Amino acid sequence: MRNSWTEYQKEIADDNYFYVRSCIRQNFFPGSEAAFLNIMRNDLNRDVKEEAIHTSCTGIGYHSDIVPLDTIMTVVARQFALMTEAGYENFISSCITSFGIYNEAMEMWSEFPETEERAREHLYKATGREFKKPKSIAHTSDIIFHHREEIARKAQHKLINVETGRPLRVVEHIGCHYAKIFPKTGFGGSEFPYVLAGMIESWGGDVIDYPERRHCCGFGFRNYLVQANRGYSVANSQKKFESMAPYKPDFIVANCPGCAMFLDKWQYTIAEMEGTVYGQDGQGIPVLTYEEMAGLVLGYDPWQLGMQMHQVNVEPLLDKMGIRYDPTAKYLGKNGKYIGQPADALVNNSSHIQL
Amino acid sequence: MSHKVIVVGGGIAGMQTALSLAERGIQPLLLEKSERIGGKLTGWHQLFPSFTPASEVLGDLSARLKDSGAEVRTNSEVRKIDKQGVELTDGTSLEADAVVVCSGFDLFNARLKEEYGYGIYPNVYTSADLEAMFNENRVLTAEGKKPQRIALLHCVGSRDEKVGQRHCSRVCCITGVKQAIELKKLYPTADIYNFYMDIRMFGPGYEEMYRQAQQEYGIHFVRGRISEASETIDHRVQIKAEDTLVGRPLKMTVDMLILLIGMKPGESNRRFAENSAIKLAPSNFVQPHDSFLHNVCSEAPNIFYAGTVTAPKNVGESLNEAITAADRVAQYLSARQ
Amino acid sequence: MIQWGFNINQPRAINLDKNDRLVADRILEQMPELEACIACGSCTATCTAGNLTSFNFRKVHTLVRRGEYKGAYEEMNKCMLCGKCRLVCPRGINTRGVVLLIKQELGDY
């Protein structure tokens, strides 16, 4: 089936990564980035360097016409400078928007060398820093993909329904900026991306190829930022849900901060606005990040992974995978204190309270 | 032994060239790389605009070629063309007074248009696949069902710089109309949609056939390129396009999607162009000396062209060029004596 | 009630899986030459009504042929039945007849 992905391959460094974070993931999927670092450092014994003084890539501002090109290039140059100063050359980004930005800057610098000169000059004048261009730029899902067989060997749980013994049916969603801007930057290219599919297959699940698989989640930066425009942001996610629902997916996995958030949260919105839920047994479809998926496979505790922060409850999936968890610990924070509990919602098939 | 004229390629242009040379008393040697002559036409069912069976044209041409006594060598691929003759891929050198290059075109590889899922989704076919299905008299979906809704997409691998094919392949438009009619004849209640960018009906009877398709056969024409094909849960094909004439997106599910694949410059063109007398056009088809008085001539006095090696052409045009090329060869040889 | 401040947009696509082509097929059965339209736009270019209103005969009959009937009857009411479009049509389509046919099939002609 998926023979075309082999034509798009890229070199992924095996070790010694310089890691930059996403702006929004720590709010919506707060355990994912920590899980990535834990998996890389503790499970796979790899060296990942992180600098506390790195900043946002300003991509959301850039794509919303707030941050100009010269500014974002200087920001990118500064991130690279931090990498250079730390003695690393394999740059990895946790965010798909940022991944697109870093690739865009590199492409632009190679097409128009004068823009690179300008970025170097701006950076030097503003901070006194200098940088070397990275030897490789990868998204962190590429890194997990690269190590997927090693993770499979250490697996505590498979993507298999323990009751039926059948593979779980998984929808994978790739953020647009992973490969639609530069198809060569993504495993499998833009039409049949393999980065998440490869993980799913290696860990025992079945990938669902549904008609709207390649469609955008509707994030769209300025579209969701402006309240009046959210109608067509949510409509794009809805189009995907309607298209995937007949396949009865057990969960969705995404590699983009915005996609994971919207595919999760818009299910709540659609349920409340129209009364429709797309999962089984009147529940929404759980949405996972690939780090959460890898974490579950490696036997991490779901609440340590931050899965209590999901809009759509993940318990039905945990039950299918045979993962033991403490229901009473779901809403306890890291310090053991109760962090509060969200109101009931239709998307979780709970009694609905009209607000 | 020295052959007078070597004809490179045993498709219809090469066959007709060899035949016309033999008819003029010039001894040709026809070299074909595959195991049989006939070229692309061997896989074709019927020819536009008259629905003449391809086997009829090919059969007649083969019989006359055989009768002419022209020597044919199959499994002989030409690597190089030079002043003295040609060199085969097995290292054999063959001398000749003149060479006619009739190496034709390659079919565009539809897998390169990844968004249509050819080779991935079983109900996505090419126009060449459909001809084979017509020949086998078995036009059914991958599940063995009679298709009730079929879409044909024009310009796959034509007019598309994303796949390095900027040129128009010319014959796909009329092929799309022809195949739509054939499908409708086979399945009169089926809904058939042609997605086109422009309809280029350049040959005699083509425009009339287009109108017939619209009016008599009720085939629907939607102006817009399909942007994406994907598989539905029941293995049908969902397609998206813009209906550009009303300015709205359009989507539908079909039982079969037929990709009308274009003509790609022959893979051997680059190799032949190592000879500086053989020039390539920006499209990578071979560039004749000019488009008017020397359209079968190279930059060398004894190398000639016929057929789709120089540009996309239909059957009749290729055959005519073959006769012209044979005529030019004869002129060249007699002027030398 | 939650105040969302937005509604979920409805799809704009012409969905040929959902559209009922029954009326379109009936129209084409009575006037098969309408399918031979090559969208040259000369009908619309010369249209008395179309030069003063949003009436676009070519677009409306194309939509009707796709099974998009909403508003088509009202649009056809804008036609002044002058007949110039029929005069200019290079495909010989009885365009004036199409106006009447669409009205007949879609409304209370």
ipTM of this complex prediction, to 2 decimal places: 0.94
Nearest CA in chain B to C61: B246
Higher pLDDT, A307 or A220: A307
Q: Do B231 and A211 touch (CB under 8 A)?
A: yes
pLDDT bin (cut points 50, 70, 90) of residue A225 is confident
Q: How far is C66 from chain A (nearest CA, A)?
A: 22
Provide the pLDDT for residue A104.
Answer: 97
Q: What is the pLDDT of residue A220?
A: 85
Among partner residues A229, A273, A354, which is closest to C4 by beta-carbon distance?
Answer: A273
Are A273 and C9 a contacting pair at CB < 8 A? no
Please check the confidence at residue A6 and state whether its pLDDT lies above 90. Answer: no
Average pLDDT of the residues in B160-177: 97
A230 touches chain C (CB under 8 A): yes
Segment C31-57 mean pLDDT:
96
Residue of A nearest to B113 (CA): A191
Closest by Cβ to C8, choosing from A227, A238, A355: A238
Per-residue model confidence as pLDDT tens digits over A282-316: 999 999 999 999 999 999 999 999 999 999 999 99
Closest approach of A331 to chain C, Cα-based (Å)? 25
Question: Which of C15, C17, C29, C33 has the most B C-beta neighbours within 10 Å, making it the best mutation to test the interface with B?
Answer: C17
Mean pLDDT of A18-30: 93
Which residues of chain B neighbour A169 with C-beta distances below 8 Å? none
* Chain B: touching chains (3 or more CB pairs < 8 Å): A, C
Q: How confident is the model at residue A350 (pLDDT cuts 50, 70, 90)?
A: low
CB contact under 8 A, A213 and B230: yes
Contact (CB, 8 A) for B257 and B124: yes
Chains that touch A (3 or more CB pairs under 8 A): B, C
CB distance B229 to B251 below 8 Å: no
**Mutation for testing the A interface, residue in C8, C12, C15 having most A CBs under 10 Å:** C8
Q: Does residue B216 surpass a pLDDT of 50?
A: yes
Beta bridge partners of B5: B28, B98
Average pLDDT, chain B: 97
Give the span between the Cα atoms of A171 and C101, in whole angstroms. 48
Q: Are A185 and A91 in contact (CB under 8 A)?
A: no
Whether residue A353 lies within 8 A of chain C, CB to CB, comes out as no
Task: Identify the architecture of domain A148-348 in CATH.
Answer: 3-Layer(aba) Sandwich (3.40)
Q: Is C13 near chain A, with CB under 8 Å?
A: no
What confidence score (pLDDT) does residue B211 get?
A: 97
What is the chain C residue with the closest CA to A266? C8
In the prediction, which pLDDT does A3 show?
A: 55
Q: Please report, rounded to a whole number, the percentage of residues in chain A having pLDDT higher than 90.
A: 85
Chain B residues whose beta carbon lies within 8 Å of the beta carbon of residue C54: none
- pLDDT band at residue B1 under the 50/70/90 scheme: very low
Find chain A residues with C-beta within 8 A of C9's C-beta. 231-232, 234-235
* Res B252: pLDDT: 98
Which sequence spans correspond to the domains of chain C?
Answer: 22-106
Structure tokens that stand for A213 in this block: 């698989």
B1 touches chain A (CB under 8 A): no
- Amino acid at residue number A310: H
What is B3-104+266-336's CATH number?
3.50.50.60
Q: Stretch B109-136: mean pLDDT, rounded?
A: 96
Residues of chain A with CATH 3.40.50.11810: 148-348
Which residue, A207, A236, A208, A212, is CA-closest to A224? A236
Is a pLDDT exceeding 90 seen at residue A221? no
**End-to-end alpha carbon distance in chain B:** 19
Two structure tokens written together for A218: 């509707």
Of C12, C33, C39, the CB nearest to B215: C33
Helices H, strands E: what count in chain C? 6, 1
Q: For domain B110-262, which CATH number applies: 3.50.50.60, 3.30.360.10, 3.40.50.410, 3.40.50.300? A: 3.50.50.60
Pick the more confident residue, A184 or B196.
Answer: B196
Work out the pLDDT band at C109, boundaries 50, 70, 90: very low
Which H or E run contains B247? none
Instruction: Compare CB distances from B218 to C12, C32, C38 and report the shortest one's residue.
Output: C32
Q: Which residues pair with B251 in a beta bridge?
A: B240, C15
Nearest CA in chain B to C14: B250
Burial C57-74, CB ≥16 within 10 A → b, else e? bbbbbbbbbbbbbeebbe
A229, A231, A355: residue with CB nearest C2: A355
Q: Report which of A207, A199, A206, A92 is spatially closest to residue A149, judged by C-alpha positions.
A: A199
Q: Which residues of B touch A192 (CB under 8 A)?
A: 114, 120
Would you kindly state where each structural domain of chain B is located, as residue ranges?
Answer: 3-104+266-336, 110-262
- Poorest-pLDDT segment among A194-203, A343-352, B278-287, C5-14: A343-352
Instruction: Give the residue-averaged pLDDT of C43-57.
Output: 96
Instruction: Confirm or reject CATH 1.10.760.10 for domain C22-106, answering yes or no.
Output: no
The CATH architecture that domain A12-140 belongs to is Up-down Bundle (1.20)
**Strand A206-207 versus strand B256-261 pairing type:** unpaired
Burial zone of A123 (CB within 10 Å; 0-12 exposed, 13-18 middle, 19+ buried): buried
CB–CB of A239 and C11 under 8 A?
yes
Overall average pLDDT of the B170-174 stretch:
98
Provide the pairing of β-strand B228-231 with B52-53. unpaired
H/E run at residue B153: strand B149-156
pLDDT reported for residue B314: 97
Residues of chain B neighbouring A3 (CB-CB closer than 8 A): 119-120
C 22-51 residues with CB below 8 A of B?
28, 32-33, 35-36, 38-39
Query: Per-residue pLDDT for A65 more than 70?
Result: yes
Tokens read off for B148: 């009730």
B111 and chain A: CB distance < 8 Å anywhere? yes
Banded model confidence at residue A1, pLDDT cuts 50, 70, 90: very low
**Mean pLDDT on B255-284:** 97
A219 vs B64 pLDDT, higher one: B64
DSSP H stretches of helix in chain B: 12-23, 54-68, 127-136, 171-186, 206-215, 268-272, 315-336
A210 touches chain B (CB under 8 A): yes
- Taking CB atoms and an 8 Å cut-off, how many pairs form between chains A and B? 30
What is the average per-residue pLDDT within C91-97? 96
Closest CA to B168 of B151, B152, B179, B154: B154
- Contact assignment for A214 to B119 by CB distance below 8 Å: no
For an interface test with B, the pick among A2, A8, A191 (most B C-beta atoms closer than 10 Å) comes out as: A191
